[in-house]
Amino acid sequence: MERVELLKELVEENNTKILLIVLDGVGDIPSFEGKTPLEKANTPNLDKLAKESAIGMHIPVLPGITPGSGPGHLALFGYNPLKYEIGRGILEALGVGLEVTENDICIRANYAKVEEIDGKLIVLDRRAGRLSTDENITLTEKITNNINDINGVKIFMKPGMEYRSAMILRFPERVNSKMCEIFETDPQKENREVISPEPKNEESNKVSIVLKEFLKKVREILKNEKGNYLLLRGYSTPPQIPKFNEIYKIRALSIATYPMYKGLTKLLGMEVKDVDGYSIKDEIKVLKENFKDYDFIYFHIKKTDSYGEDGDYINKFKVIEEFDSFLPEILSLNFDTISITGDHSTPTPMKSHSFHPVPVLIKSPYVFKNFSERFTEKECLRGELGIIKGEDIMSLLLAHSRRLKKFGA
């Protein structure tokens, strides 16, 4: 039996409240002074909480597999990330507020800096110097003002955060997942050639033709800009996936500032509240205003991941310290069960997501306590929870909240 099917049978409703805090990409490996950012950070509140909690490590997908943000989050929400594969495009599109139909192929588009060298288009900077959101808006307007339709396929595009944007190809007829089987254009590293969006099958050929023409036009429109190209990823159509609220019989709220995470939780059926700003303080304001009305709240902090991808060790541990300073304010809301973790690790020496296990903490009245001194990778490796699957976390949160009936006679 699929895990979500079992949980749906065992779940029972009560008045307990669950808070899941995701410090995106928080996991790391020792580097500066032989410490990880979690070890380097001054976190008295997080350390105190760790002493009162069960801690451990989780593996988002499988040992040795580096997860994207989508699979990492699906696992945290109790879904098998190998069964429920969701393309990044649909998440970005929903997150920025694009309306998606059954005729649409959704794509994540990242602004980048490219240059033609010896007849090849080479990626100099995959994030165009981490383009600002305002710059993104300006560039996206230039594109949408000049490109609306290619070969009868309508083009819709909206800016996301920083260098990220989302686009939709709307066909006259219903699309299918086979049509999304096209090579992504992002080579994943600087100083490599842009990959052509070639089709992988006959059905995706017409999509490939549209994308090639689109990128040709974009190259001309943006030729004098800081972000002078778009790297295309995550071609996807709307998936069929069980709704979070229906499985767990809880009213769930999502608090996040980045479109992808809004898009994923919206797709799962959570309510998504807009945050007026991008800081942890802004998100906490929304948490305080709404926590009484929900049984489960997902609270996402992005910058731990962003600084990890930039290899910025100092700012990564500083944002952990900033979160720690707000922790007493969060704890004062008296959630019955709290978990703090990440969707994956993003080690600063690697400047990317990685396969490393992720620290996880669970606070409830039903833990052993006093196993650990701090919330760090090394302490978590010795913790009460051991090393578990990312999928296990949702089951544990429900169990610690007394929301699961006994299984079997």
State how far the Cα of 74 lies from the Cα of 77, in Å rounded to an integer.
Answer: 5
Percent above pLDDT 70 for the chain:
100
CB atoms within 10 A of CB 80: 16
Mean of the per-residue pLDDT values for the chain?
A: 94
pLDDT grade, residue 306 (50/70/90)? very high
Residue by residue, DSSP assigns 323-387 as HHHHHHHHHTT--SEEEEE-SSB--TTTTS-BSS-EEEEEESTTS---S-SS-SHHHHHTSTTEE
What pLDDT does residue 387 have?
97
What pLDDT does residue 127 have?
92
Phi, psi of 39 (to 5 degrees): -75, -35
What pLDDT does residue 370 have?
83
354-406 confidence digits (pLDDT tens): 999 999 999 999 999 888 899 999 999 999 999 999 999 999 999 999 999 99
What pLDDT does residue 392 have?
97
Indicate the Cα dihedral angle 350, 354, 357, 362, nearest 10°.
Answer: 90
pLDDT grade, residue 79 (50/70/90)? very high
Q: Residue 155's beta-bridge partner residues?
A: 169
Model confidence at 86: pLDDT above 90: no
Model confidence at 109: pLDDT above 90: yes
Amino acid at 199: P
For residue 352, CA distances in Å to 316, 358, 372, 386 come to 13, 14, 28, 25
What pLDDT does residue 240 have?
84
238-284 confidence digits (pLDDT tens): 888 999 999 999 999 999 998 889 989 998 999 999 999 989 999 99
Model confidence at 87: pLDDT above 90: no
Top pLDDT among 263 and 299 is at 299
Model confidence at 340: pLDDT above 90: yes
Domain boundaries, the chain: 3-84+241-400, 91-236
Q: Where are the alpha helices (DSSP H) in 147-204?
A: none
State how far the Cα of 67 lies from the Cα of 318, in Å rounded to an integer.
Answer: 25
9-68 confidence digits (pLDDT tens): 999 999 999 999 999 999 999 999 999 999 999 999 999 999 999 999 999 999 999 999
Percent above pLDDT 90 for the chain:
87
What pLDDT does residue 2 have?
84
Model confidence at 94: pLDDT above 90: no
Average pLDDT for residues 88-102, to the nearest whole number?
A: 88
Give the contacts of 399 (CB within 8 A, at least 6 positions apart): none
3-state secondary structure 34-103: HCCHHHHCCCHHHHHHHHCCEEEEEECCCCCCCCCHHHHHHHHCCCCCCCCCCCHHHHHHHHCCCCCCCC
Model confidence at 347: pLDDT above 90: yes
Q: What is the CATH number of domain 3-84+241-400?
A: 3.40.720.10
Q: Is 154 exposed, middle or buried (0-12, 13-18, 19+ CB in 10 A)?
A: middle
Q: Is 354 exposed, middle or buried (0-12, 13-18, 19+ CB in 10 A)?
A: buried
What pLDDT does residue 409 have?
78
Phi, psi of 267 (to 5 degrees): -60, -35
Q: What is the DSSP letter of 32?
A: G
Model confidence at 91: pLDDT above 90: no
pLDDT grade, residue 201 (50/70/90)? very high
23-27, 95-99, 173-177: which has the highest mean pLDDT?
23-27
Question: How far separated are the first and last CA of the chain, in Å rounded?
Answer: 17
